[in-house]
C-alpha cells in the first residue's frame, strides 16, 4: 500500500529549498507527447513523456529531466542525469517557481549538490549564493539584494552556521557570531529577537533550537492532517511544494502563498492544511510582538 511521506522544515523566507525525488520518472504515454512546450538544448531524443514530465537523451550521453506544473505547463525543473533511469543526478540543474521566476541554479554530483549555487527569493527581492560540498553548505554564503548589493554574509561548516555573521545596511557592516548553529553574539543593530514557536516549544530559544522544536511539532500536526490527493496518487505525481506564510503579532497564520505547488490538487491540499493551523507563539523583536515570514516545504512521495 502506498502512503504519503511528508518531510518538512521551517526556514526563513530568504532561504528557498529545492529537492526532487529521483527515480520517479519511469511511466510514459504517447498521449502526453505534445503536452509541453520547451526549448531543446541541441539534439535531443525524447524517451518518456508523462502527465508532468519529459525525459530526453542528449548526444553527449547524458539525460535531461524536465518537470512541469501539469495544469499550466510551467517548467519547474530542468535536471541532468548520467543514466537513462534518472537515478544518478549529475550535472547542471535549474528550478523555477510556479510564477516562472528562477528558484535555483547549480550542479549535482551523484545526487548531491556540489560547487557554486545561487538560491533566489520568490519575489525578486534578492538571492543568496555560495558553495556546496557533498550536499552540504560550506564556507561563506552571501545574500544580495535585487540590485546586487550585499545585505548579509554567513559562514557554514558542514551545513551548520558557524563563524561570523555580517549584516550590511546604509550605516555599513554590523557583525555577530554563530557557534554550532546558535547565534551567540547578535549584530548590534540586529536587535533582540525571539523567533515564533509552535506547539509546546518555549519562546526565547535560538533560531536553530526553535527551528528544530517547531519543525518537530509542525511535522506532527501535518502528519495527522495532510492527505495525498487521489488524482496525484493515480498519476504518480511526486515532488516538493513550497508554501510561504506569515505568523502575525497575535500568532495567527496569515498571508499564505503558494510558491511551488507541484500540481493543482497537491497545492489545494497544502492550502487546506495551512488553514487548519492553530495559533503560534508570536515572534518578538526588542520585546514587541512582530510579524515573521517563513517558507514551508511539503515533500510528497509515494511508497
* Per-residue model confidence (pLDDT) at position 206: 57
* Per-residue model confidence (pLDDT) at position 279: 93
Query: DSSP characters for 50-95?
Result: ETTEEEEEETTS-EEEEEEETTTTEEEEEEEESSTTS-SEEEEEEE
* Per-residue model confidence (pLDDT) at position 15: 37
d(CA 170, CA 166): 13
* Per-residue model confidence (pLDDT) at position 147: 84
* Per-residue model confidence (pLDDT) at position 223: 81
d(CA 54, CA 48): 6
* Per-residue model confidence (pLDDT) at position 215: 77
Greatest Cα pair distance in the chain:
61
Cell 515572534 -> residue: 283
- Model confidence over 156-178: pLDDT tens digits? 999 999 999 999 988 889 999 99
Burial 136-162 (b: 16+ CB within 10 A, else e): ebeeebbbbeeeeeebbbbbbeeebbb
- Give the contacts of 225 (CB within 8 A, at least 6 positions apart): 273, 276
* Per-residue model confidence (pLDDT) at position 202: 64
- Model confidence over 47-88: pLDDT tens digits? 999 999 999 999 999 999 999 999 999 999 999 999 999 999
User: With the C-alpha atoms ordered 2, 262, 276, 17, is the resulting torsion angle positive or negative?
Assistant: positive
* Per-residue model confidence (pLDDT) at position 2: 38
Burial 38-64 (b: 16+ CB within 10 A, else e): eeeeeeeeeebbbbbbbbbbbeeeebb
* Per-residue model confidence (pLDDT) at position 195: 78
* pLDDT by residue, tens only, the chain of 303 residues: 333 344 333 334 333 333 344 457 999 999 999 999 999 988 999 999 999 999 999 999 999 999 999 999 999 999 999 999 999 999 999 999 999 999 999 999 999 999 999 999 887 678 999 999 999 999 999 999 888 899 999 999 999 999 999 999 888 899 999 998 888 888 887 777 777 888 887 655 555 666 678 778 888 888 889 899 999 999 999 999 999 999 999 999 999 999 999 999 999 999 999 999 999 989 888 889 999 998 888 889 887
Amino acid at each position: 500500500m502506498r502512503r504519503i511521506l511528508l518531510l518538512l522544515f521551517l526556514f526563513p523566507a530568504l532561504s528557498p529549498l529545492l529537492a526532487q525525488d529521483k527515480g520517479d520518472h519511469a511511466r510514459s504515454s504517447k498521449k502526453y507527447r505534445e503536452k509541453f512546450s520547451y526549448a531543446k538544448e541541441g539534439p535531443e531524443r525524447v524517451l518518456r513523456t508523462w502527465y508532468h514530465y519529459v525525459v530526453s537523451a542528449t548526444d553527449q550521453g547524458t539525460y535531461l529531466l524536465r518537470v512541469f506544473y501539469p495544469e499550466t505547463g510551467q517548467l519547474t525543473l530542468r535536471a541532468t542525469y548520467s543514466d537513462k533511469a534518472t537515478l544518478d543526478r549529475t550535472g547542471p540543474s535549474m528550478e523555477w517557481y510556479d510564477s516562472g521566476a528562477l528558484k535555483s541554479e547549480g550542479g549535482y554530483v551523484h545526487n548531491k549538490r556540489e560547487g557554486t549555487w545561487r538560491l533566489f527569493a520568490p519575489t525578486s527581492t534578492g538571492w543568496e549564493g555560495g558553495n556546496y560540498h557533498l550536499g552540504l553548505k560550506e564556507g561563506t554564503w552571501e545574500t544580495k539584494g535585487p540590485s546586487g548589493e550585499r545585505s548579509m554574509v554567513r559562514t557554514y561548516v558542514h551545513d551548520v552556521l558557524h563563524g561570523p555573521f555580517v549584516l550590511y545596511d546604509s550605516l555599513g557592516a554590523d557583525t555577530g557570531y554563530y557557534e554550532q548553529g546558535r547565534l551567540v553574539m547578535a549584530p548590534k543593530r540586529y536587535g533582540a529577537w525571539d523567533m515564533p514557536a509552535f506547539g509546546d516549544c518555549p519562546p526565547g530559544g535560538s533560531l536553530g533550537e526553535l527551528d528544530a522544536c517547531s519543525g518537530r511539532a509542525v511535522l506532527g500536526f501535518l502528519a495527522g492532517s495532510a492527505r495525498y490527493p487521489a488524482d496525484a496518487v493515480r498519476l504518480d505525481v511526486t515532488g516538493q511544494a513550497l508554501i510561504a506564510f506569515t505568523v502575525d503579532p497575535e500568532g495567527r497564520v496569515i498571508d499564505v502563498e503558494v510558491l511551488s505547488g507541484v500540481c493543482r490538487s497537491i497545492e489545494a491540499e497544502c492550502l487546506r492544511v495551512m488553514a487548519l493551523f492553530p495559533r503560534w507563539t508570536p515572534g518578538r523583536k526588542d520585546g514587541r510582538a512582530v510579524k515573521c515570514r517563513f517558507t514551508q516545504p511539503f515533500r510528497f512521495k509515494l511508497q
